[in-house]
Amino acid sequence: MKCFSINLVVLIGVVTFSNAQAQQPVVISQQLEQKVIEWRRHLHQHPELSNREFNTAKVIAEHLNGLGLEVQTGIAHTGVVGVLIGGKPGPTIALRADMDALPVIEQTDIPFKSIAKSEYRSNEVGVMHACGHDLHMAMLMGAAEKLSSMKNDIAGTIVFIFQPAEEGAPKGEEGGAELMLKEGLFTQHQPDVVFGIHVWSAGNTGHIGYREGPLMASSDRFEITVKGQQTHGSSPWGGVDPIVAAGQIIGSTQTIVSRQVNITKAPAVISFGIVEGGVRNNIIPDEVYLEGTIRNFDMGNRAQIFKNLKTTAEMTAKATGAEAHVHIDEGYPVTINDIDLTRKMLPTIERVTGKDKVHVNDLVTGAEDFSFFALEVPGLFVFLGITPEGEDTKSAPSNHSPFFYADEKALKTGTELYINWALDYAKL
């Protein structure tokens, strides 16, 4: 009995040691980390706008080809996809990074700052990776290199998605995640899950913000043309005043969120950003143009807001004798993290970063077209902090700022998170 007890203790010790070993995350070497930094700097110095990422795509495709992956180019204009088939059977896991930059003139003083210029809306503009997509690409390139070196030990297939036009395709064009799916990305490579990372200045370097369920809002644009009948401002009864009607529409639409939608499900916002009408102080014009944005975190509420906005605008205008014509341009859906997947992969995030650097994120009213991927298969999308430790994140230049700055120490964390998500999910 005593001997049995001793052996049991030894056995328990061995099992505990094995489990502890299994819990250790895969890390990248200093050499690979330096390569990731160099890729990031090159991409940062040579940014390209949405649907125009031609040289960016070439750099990525050459890298993936060099790793021996199956590579497809030209998806959604400039998208690149690399496929790594592991040496063992298992699930198909998609890892996504976005590629495009913004029409922003960079005002940082980093040695590899962008001085690139391009055309946007028929105007010459500066171009800058002001949202960190250069980091996203570099991290995923690093993950592809590390995982390729482990090919024989990998269970399943890993699909590396480099997606163009996340910031939105130019007017009159299609692009981004929606077009990649439309062109059959998930038909040809049907993943079981999809993972994505976005760097942001609201977190300190290496910190991860995550959230179960809705994380980022849907983003939809609406236009309302209010038609009246022009008349002299001194005798408004001689026509129909679209300005008065437009003013009442602006006020009435605020009751959609405050009175008509169940906001206990999730918050929502309707904001007007453009009000245009009239040419002279004493002329009541024929029409007024309104434009705004809708943000919300529940797909059911989203559909109801669309319906109620149209009804409210049309009926309010009709009550004044005017007409309202409503057009809603559906943008990005709600970015929803699959609850089960998030809970299963949270231990991986904590092992890579340390529990003290993992936080539940507030809802974000910004939008992301990763949402299209996550509506097709279970998805997990997180924020990676890039403001140096010790600096106040509240005063750090935000994403899309010409002063946007990213601490490159975060690249190691993001690269290792991609790697360990892929490896750990295959073990579930």
Catalytic positions: 332, 408
Residue with tokens 């890039």: 386
Residue with tokens 């090159």: 42
CA-closest candidate to residue 26, choices 423, 383, 296 = 423
Three-class SS state of 294: strand
- CB neighbours (10 Å) of residue 118? 15
CA-closest candidate to residue 380, choices 220, 162, 208, 182 = 208
- CB neighbours (10 Å) of residue 38? 12
CA distances from 152 to 7, 89, 92 (A): 36, 11, 15
- CB neighbours (10 Å) of residue 361? 17
Q: How far is C-alpha 184 from the geometric centre of its chain's CA atoms?
A: 20
Q: Exposed (0-12), middle (13-18) or buried (19+): which is 392, by Cβ within 10 Å? A: exposed
Residue with tokens 């992969």: 345
Structure-block tokens of residue 16: 């505990």
What are residue 277's DSSP bridge partners?
288
123-126 and 117-120 strand pairing: antiparallel
Three-class SS state of 348: helix
Distance between CA atoms of 164 and 426, rounded to whole angstroms? 27
DSSP 188-250: HS--SEEEEEEEEEEEETT-EEE-SEEEE-EEEEEEEEEE-B-EETT-GGGSB-HHHHHHHHH
Total residue count of the chain as it appears in this document: 428
Structure-block tokens of residue 376: 């097709």
Structure-block tokens of residue 52: 């125009």
Three-class SS state of 265: coil
CA distances from 299 to 51, 310, 420 (A): 28, 17, 31
Three-class SS state of 170: coil
